[in-house]
Structure formats: structure tokens, C-alpha cells
Structure 1
């Protein structure tokens, strides 16, 4: 049986290569992709639902729509942007992606985040503290330079 992976994607340049990430993950994982609002509009996600066999999630369901059945064995946030990491660390839940990340943070599902933040933003005084909050909560952070999908995959259970 294949393990279930919730893949949260943010709007950053590595998203252009999501096909490469799916190639690396699919032998082991059944993947559900959840896009942040900014990422949801990027054309690189076209075809993801067909490729994974699961709907691409990107917003809260409307009142007459079913809630997606999610029971991931792990969560991967890749690429994880400055905006998403800071919202998540401070408990902001203003979209489906960070809302679910906040819910999983208090549980026992392993979470890995592939940090993709430009140096100018990484130097922001709040950023290091917010990464420390996520680490303390058990999030495994892959902060490789140059950015690679493999650095994050290596941290998955």
C-alpha cells in the first residue's frame, strides 16, 4: 500500500519544475496537491490532478461541496515561501493551505518544509524566530542552497 502525502505548494520559481518533484515522489507516495492562493493561478499546476489522480485543492469548499478526505501519512511543503512560513509560524489561517498546515502542526503527522526564500527576506528579523517556532513544533526544514527537491525528500519519513 502506498503512503498518503499532502504536498503543499507555494508560488516560487521551483514550482516550474513540479513535474520533477512528482517524478521523485510518486514511486512511494499517493499525492494530494494543495496550492496556496498565489500558486493556484500558476500554469505549472495544469495537469497535476490528472497526473496524481487526485483533485488539485486550492480553496475552502463551498457550503454545498464535499470536504476533501485527507488522511496524510506525511506533509511536504515545497517550495515553502517566506509568506507561508511566517503565516504558519504565527498561526495565521487565512487560506486553506496554511489553515491545514496549522491543524497538522498540532498533530503527529510528520511535516517537512523545503525553504525557498531569497537572502534579503531570509535576513528579516522575524524570519529566523519563525523558523525556530516551526522547528520546535517538529517541522523538519530543508534549507539547501542551491534549492533542491531532494533535500526535502530526504527528510520525509
Structure 2
């Protein structure tokens, strides 16, 4: 018996290559998983390996081929990791310019427990737009895993490769799965439906 379905969205940052750590840990805890990737994230991941590991296609478009309908499994939790400076700002503003961003916008609106783990350098994190985006997402009850209390801070510019190995995959899963029990899975999102 599974504990539920974890939807994972990866963005184009170094730790995306290590998302298998999250999938493996979630599977060991009886969660099913599926990956959605931003268009640029495909350069960071091994799509075929992730599909074998999850048993689901890695999605980044609204439909895989004309006339094909494929729904994502009902989501009990959503982890967006690693999230880039650009993607975090788009999520906060509700910009849904690709399949991943549309999926995120809809699942947040449906109040699916959501954890976001930024992977940004300190110079970008100090920018006012980023700070506003953090506050905006937190006001919508999105758990942004960043700060002293979380033990995950922005890294100094130019040190991303070294910081990648410490990415908090397990802590993100714990945060997503400790969400209040009143949240129930939502109906699947049709993969070929694009919100207006």
C-alpha cells in the first residue's frame, strides 16, 4: 500500500541531476513518484533513467502527441526542487508559460502540500524580486525550504558545483510528508489541458 503520490518538478540547476536521491527515498517510504521538468531542465537530467525509476514519463509538454490524453496521478504532495531564481519568481507571479509552471500553479491553487527548495546564489537571493517572491509564496502556504532554520542557505556566487552535493532532498521530502492530514489528493490534471 502506498502512502500517496509525490509529484516532483525539477528546474534547470545542478542538483536536478541528483533527483534520483529523492525518488529512491520516497519509494522506500512507500510513495509513488513522477517527474515534470521545465524545458531547460532536460539538459540536467537523465530522462530515460528517471522514467524507469518512477514508472511514469517525464513530462514537460501539455501532451506527448496529438490526440493523446495522459493524466498525471492524483497528487498528495508536490516538491519543486531544485528551483532556480527565475522559476521561483515566475511561480510567485503565477506565470504559467510552460507545462511545469502551469502544473505548479494549479496544484498550489488546489492546496496540494507544496515544498519549494531554491538553489540560488547569495547575490540573486538578496535581490528585492526574490525576497518578494519568497514572501508571496509563503503567504499562499507554500513551504519554502530556505533559511537558517532549515539549514539551507543561498551559496556564495561561483560555488554552486560544490554546494550541489549538500542539496537537502531528504529534508524536502520530510517537510512535504509532514503536511497536515486534512489535505487530500486532488483529481488528476489532464496532460493536454492548458489553462487559459
Q: What TM-score do you get using the length of structure 1 for normalisation? A: 0.92
Gaps of 5+ in 1: none
Compare 14-23 and 49-58 and name the one that shifted more: 14-23
Higher RCO (C-alpha 8 Å, min separation 6): 2
Gaps of 5+ in 2: 147-151, 154-165, 178-196
For the residues of structure 2 that align with 1:147 and 1:120, how far apart are their CA atoms?
Answer: 19
Q: Is the 8 A contact 1:78 1:114 kept in 2?
A: yes
Match of 2:117 among 114, 117, 139: 114
Match of 1:77 among 80, 85, 90: 80
- Residue 119 of structure 1 deviates from its aligned partner by 1.1
- Residue 63 of structure 1 deviates from its aligned partner by 4.0
Aligned to 2:137: 134
Aligned to 2:23: 22
Q: What TM-score do you get using the length of structure 2 for normalisation? A: 0.75
Aligned to 1:44: 46
The alignment covers a number of residue pairs equal to 157
Q: Is the 8 A contact 1:18 1:45 kept in 2?
A: no
- Residue 66 of structure 1 deviates from its aligned partner by 0.8
- Residue 43 of structure 1 deviates from its aligned partner by 4.2
Aligned to 2:120, what secondary structure does the other structure show?
coil
Q: Is the 8 A contact 1:15 1:79 kept in 2?
A: yes
Q: Is the 8 A contact 2:14 2:44 kept in 1?
A: no
1:2-59 per-position Cα deviation (integer Å, ceiling 9, x unaligned): 1111100111111121222222111231001000010023343331001111111111
For the residues of structure 2 that align with 1:151 and 1:119, how far apart are their CA atoms?
Answer: 21
Q: Which has the larger radius of gyration?
A: 2
Could you list the runs of 4 or more consecutive aligned residues of structure 1 that deviate by over 6 angstroms after TM superposition?
Answer: none
Aligned to 1:4, what secondary structure does the other structure show?
strand
For the residues of structure 2 that align with 1:45 and 1:12, how far apart are their CA atoms?
Answer: 15
